Protein backbone atom coordinates (compact mmCIF):
# COMPACT_ATOMS: atom_id res chain seq x y z
CA UNK A 1 0.00 0.00 0.00
CA UNK A 2 1.39 3.40 -0.88
CA UNK A 3 1.22 6.49 1.28
CA UNK A 4 -1.56 8.19 -0.72
CA UNK A 5 -3.91 5.21 -0.38
CA UNK A 6 -3.11 5.07 3.34
CA UNK A 7 -4.06 8.73 3.78
CA UNK A 8 -7.35 8.21 1.94
CA UNK A 9 -8.17 5.18 4.05
CA UNK A 10 -7.34 7.05 7.27
CA UNK A 11 -9.56 9.96 6.23
CA UNK A 12 -12.39 7.53 5.48
CA UNK A 13 -12.09 5.96 8.93
CA UNK A 14 -11.99 9.37 10.60
CA UNK A 15 -15.09 10.48 8.69
CA UNK A 16 -16.90 7.30 9.71
CA UNK A 17 -15.82 7.84 13.32
CA UNK A 18 -17.17 11.38 13.36
CA UNK A 19 -20.42 10.19 11.80
CA UNK A 20 -20.77 7.42 14.41
CA UNK A 21 -20.08 9.90 17.22
CA UNK A 22 -22.72 12.27 15.85
CA UNK A 23 -25.30 9.49 15.55
CA UNK A 24 -24.46 8.16 19.01
CA UNK A 25 -24.88 11.63 20.53
CA UNK A 26 -28.16 12.07 18.67
CA UNK A 27 -29.50 8.81 20.09
CA UNK A 28 -28.20 9.75 23.55
CA UNK A 29 -29.86 13.17 23.53
CA UNK A 30 -33.03 12.62 21.47
CA UNK A 31 -33.60 8.86 21.63
CA UNK A 32 -35.88 8.97 24.66
CA UNK A 33 -38.89 7.65 22.73
CA UNK A 34 -37.20 4.30 22.09
CA UNK A 35 -37.27 1.38 24.51
CA UNK A 36 -34.31 1.53 26.92
CA UNK A 37 -32.90 -1.83 25.80
CA UNK A 38 -32.96 -0.84 22.14
CA UNK A 39 -31.50 2.56 22.99
CA UNK A 40 -28.60 0.97 24.89
CA UNK A 41 -27.85 -1.37 21.99
CA UNK A 42 -27.82 1.55 19.57
CA UNK A 43 -25.53 3.55 21.86
CA UNK A 44 -23.13 0.62 22.21
CA UNK A 45 -23.16 0.11 18.43
CA UNK A 46 -22.47 3.73 17.48
CA UNK A 47 -19.92 4.48 20.21
CA UNK A 48 -18.22 1.10 19.79
CA UNK A 49 -17.73 1.62 16.09
CA UNK A 50 -16.59 5.20 16.70
CA UNK A 51 -13.85 3.85 18.98
CA UNK A 52 -12.81 1.34 16.33
CA UNK A 53 -12.88 3.99 13.60
CA UNK A 54 -10.45 6.15 15.57
CA UNK A 55 -8.23 3.26 16.75
CA UNK A 56 -7.80 1.53 13.41
CA UNK A 57 -5.88 4.37 11.67
CA UNK A 58 -3.20 4.22 14.39
CA UNK A 59 -2.92 0.49 13.73
CA UNK A 60 -2.63 1.15 9.98
CA UNK A 61 0.11 3.73 10.56
CA UNK A 62 2.13 1.26 12.65
CA UNK A 63 1.74 -1.47 10.03
CA UNK A 64 2.76 0.96 7.29
CA UNK A 65 5.87 2.03 9.24
CA UNK A 66 6.84 -1.61 9.78
CA UNK A 67 6.32 -2.36 6.10
CA UNK A 68 8.45 0.62 5.07
CA UNK A 69 11.20 -0.40 7.49
CA UNK A 70 11.25 -3.93 6.07
CA UNK A 71 11.40 -2.60 2.53
CA UNK A 72 14.36 -0.40 3.43
CA UNK A 73 16.17 -3.29 5.07
CA UNK A 74 15.87 -1.96 8.59
CA UNK A 75 14.51 -3.83 11.54
CA UNK A 76 10.96 -2.79 12.41
CA UNK A 77 10.30 -0.95 15.63
CA UNK A 78 9.10 -3.42 18.17
CA UNK A 79 10.36 -5.96 20.65
CA UNK A 80 13.85 -7.31 19.96
CA UNK A 81 14.05 -10.84 18.54
CA UNK A 82 14.74 -13.60 21.02
CA UNK A 83 18.16 -15.21 21.18
CA UNK A 84 18.37 -18.84 20.07
CA UNK A 85 18.11 -21.28 22.93
CA UNK A 86 20.96 -23.73 23.40
Q: Would you kindly state where each structural domain of the chain is located, as residue ranges?
A: 22-68
pLDDT tens digits, residue range 30-43?
Answer: 988 889 899 999 99
**In the predicted structure, residue 76 carries a pLDDT above the cut 60:** no
Using pLDDT thresholds of 50, 70 and 90, give the confidence band for residue 74. Answer: low
Give yes or no for a contact between 24 and 49, defined as CB atoms under 8 angstroms apart.
no
- Model's pTM, two decimal places? 0.73
Q: Collect contacts of 53-62 with beta carbons under 8 A, ≥24 apart.
A: 53/13, 53/14, 53/16, 53/17, 53/20, 54/13, 54/14, 54/17, 56/13, 57/9, 57/10, 57/13, 57/14, 60/6, 60/9, 60/10, 60/13, 61/6, 61/10
Q: pLDDT confidence of 27, banded at 50, 70, 90?
A: very high
Amino acid sequence: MDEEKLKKRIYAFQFAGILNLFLGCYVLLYGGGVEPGTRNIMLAFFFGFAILDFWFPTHLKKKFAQQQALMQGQTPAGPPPEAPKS
